């Protein structure tokens, strides 16, 4: 291994060891389970940190200020109502006093909004940085989606989000790479078995009759020849249809549980699985988003499978064309040398 370090550069060594690590992780199922547990704990720890910094220490005090001022406004409006009921005062005087109270409250809310750096995520009715929202932020950050509906506004939160993404994004990429490799391996094995079964089932009847040893020899020869294709290439149409079906499933789920609009649900699903994340539409329920993130991880994995299969097909065709061109060139040179 030391000789290897001397022969390879730093970048080549990093790529080599990362490839070895991913290969080892995909060899045993419990390695993948361990990786999933690590990512789950990493997401949970990140959610707790962002919830404390952005929610408890920053947004919650502002939220309480608005709630307190709202209660004071409600009490003063009750006093005005009592005055109206007990004392005969001109309507214009009551109207002016009510307007002044409302404008005073609106000015207070506007000041709070100006103090809050990210006005788009500040909500008067409910905290944006609750614990479930922090989980959604942590997961979507590592998935590189970034809907933009919630983001850190404090300096510490912004710096921590960068560090968190630097560590979390490679973890999620390794997870999806290992899951994608496992899916490809299992699909290739399934395709291999289907081809073996189809070739065995459609053998001529004469090869099964007569001498049993001859029949065994024929089948043995067949399977030995076919064993050269233990890892056949997956057809592109298969994984493409799998991707389309997966997107449609997510679209139906969003239509059922969140918004009954097919185009919006389809665009959101497609943007999520391709990690575009425009943020034009985001489901309002954090509980639904946490469950949907699991779907997104599976969908990105399927997308990785599609890209990998297309890459394999392109590489194989390029190698075939190169070999064919090489043979043609050699024959041409030999013919002219003679």
Q: What confidence category does residue 320 fall into, taking pLDDT thresholds of 50, 70 and 90?
A: confident
Q: Quote the pLDDT of residue 108.
A: 67
DSSP string computed for 131-200: HHHHHHHHHHHHTT---SSS---SHHHHHHHHHHHHHHHHHHHHHHHHHHHHHHHHHHHHHHHHHHHHHH
What does the DSSP 8-state code read for residue 226?
H
Burial of 20 (0-12, 13-18, 19+ CB in 10 A): exposed
Calculate the CA dihedral of residues 189, 191, 196, 201 and round it to 10 degrees: 140
| pLDDT score of 114 more than 50 | yes
* pLDDT score at 129: 87
The upper half-sphere exposure of residue 102, i.e. CA atoms within 13 Å in the direction of its Cβ, equals 7
Residues 209-230 have pLDDT tens digits of 444 444 433 333 333 333 334 5
Is the Cβ–Cβ distance between 279 and 306 less than 8 Å? no
Q: How many CB atoms are closer than 10 A to CB 25?
A: 19
Determine contact, residues 283/132, Cβ cutoff 8 Å: no
Looking up tokens 């919830």 gives 51
Q: How far apart are CA 254 and CA 320, in angstroms?
A: 44
E runs forming strands in 17-160:
none
Question: What are the CB-based long-range contacts (under 8 Å, 24+) for 108-115?
Answer: 108/66, 108/69, 109/66, 109/69, 112/62, 112/65, 112/66, 115/62
- The structural domains of the chain, with segments of one domain joined by +, span 16-186, 233-338
Lookup result for tokens 């970048």: 11
Weakest mean pLDDT among 5-14, 54-63, 246-255: 5-14
pLDDT at 311 over 90: no
Whole-number average pLDDT of the chain: 75
Local structure of 320: helix, strand or coil: helix
The percent of residues above 70 in pLDDT, for the chain, comes to 62
pLDDT of residue 15: 63
pLDDT digits 0-9 by tens, 117-169: 544 444 545 677 889 999 999 999 999 988 888 889 889 999 999 999 999 99
- Is the pLDDT reported for residue 46 higher than 90? yes
Q: At residue 26, does pLDDT exceed 70? A: no
Cβ-contact 208, 215 below 8 angstroms: yes
pLDDT at 158: 92
On the question of pLDDT at 53 being above 90, the answer is yes
Residue 210: predicted pLDDT: 46
Identify which of 159, 179, 305, 168 has the alpha carbon closest to the alpha carbon of residue 242. Answer: 305
C-alpha–C-alpha distance, residues 199 and 194, integer Å: 9
Q: What is residue 331's predicted lDDT score, i.e. its pLDDT?
A: 53
**CATH class in words for 233-338:** mainly alpha
Q: What is the mean pLDDT of residues 9-27?
A: 64
Write down the pLDDT at residue 162. 95
Quick one: average pLDDT of 256-275? Answer: 89
292-306 residue pLDDT tens: 999 999 999 898 888
What contacts 264, CB < 8 A, 6 or more positions away? 281
What is the distance of C-alpha 120 from the center of its chain?
Answer: 24
């Amino acid at each position: 291994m030391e000789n290897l370090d001397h022969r390879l550069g730093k970048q080549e060594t990093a790529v080599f060891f990362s490839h070895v690590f991913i290969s080892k992780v995909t060899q045993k199922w419990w390695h993948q389970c361990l990786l999933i547990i690590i990512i789950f704990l990493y997401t949970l720890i990140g959610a707790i940190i962002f919830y404390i910094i952005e929610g408890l220490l920053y947004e919650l005090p502002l939220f309480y200020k608005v709630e307190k001022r709202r209660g004071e406004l409600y009490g003063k409006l009750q006093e005005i109502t009592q005055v109206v009921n007990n004392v005969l005062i001109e309507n214009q005087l009551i109207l002016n006093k009510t307007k002044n109270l409302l404008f005073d409250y609106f000015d207070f809310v506007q000041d709070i909004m100006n103090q809050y750096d990210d006005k788009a995520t500040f909500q008067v009715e409910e905290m944006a940085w609750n614990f479930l929202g922090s989980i959604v932020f942590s997961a979507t950050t590592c998935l590189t989606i970034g809907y933009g509906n919630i983001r850190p506004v404090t300096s510490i939160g912004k710096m921590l989000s960068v560090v968190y993404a630097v560590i979390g994004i490679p973890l999620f990429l390794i997870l999806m790479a290992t899951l994608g490799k496992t899916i490809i391996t299992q699909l290739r094995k399934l395709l291999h078995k289907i081809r073996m079964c189809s070739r065995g089932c459609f053998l001529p009847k004469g090869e099964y009759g007569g001498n049993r040893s001859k029949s065994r020899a024929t089948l043995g020869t067949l399977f030995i020849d076919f064993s050269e294709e233990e890892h056949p290439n997956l057809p592109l149409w298969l994984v493409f249809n799998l991707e389309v079906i997966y997107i449609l499933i997510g679209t139906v789920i969003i239509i059922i549980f969140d918004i009954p609009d097919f185009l919006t649900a389809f665009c959101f699903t497609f943007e999520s699985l391709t990690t575009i994340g425009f943020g034009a539409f985001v489901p309002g329920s954090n509980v639904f988003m946490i469950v949907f993130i699991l779907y997104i991880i599976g969908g990105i994995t399927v997308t990785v499978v599609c890209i990998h299969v297309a890459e394999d097909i392109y590489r194989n065709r390029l190698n075939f064309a190169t070999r064919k061109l090489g043979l043609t060139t050699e024959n041409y040179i030999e013919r002219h040398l003679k």
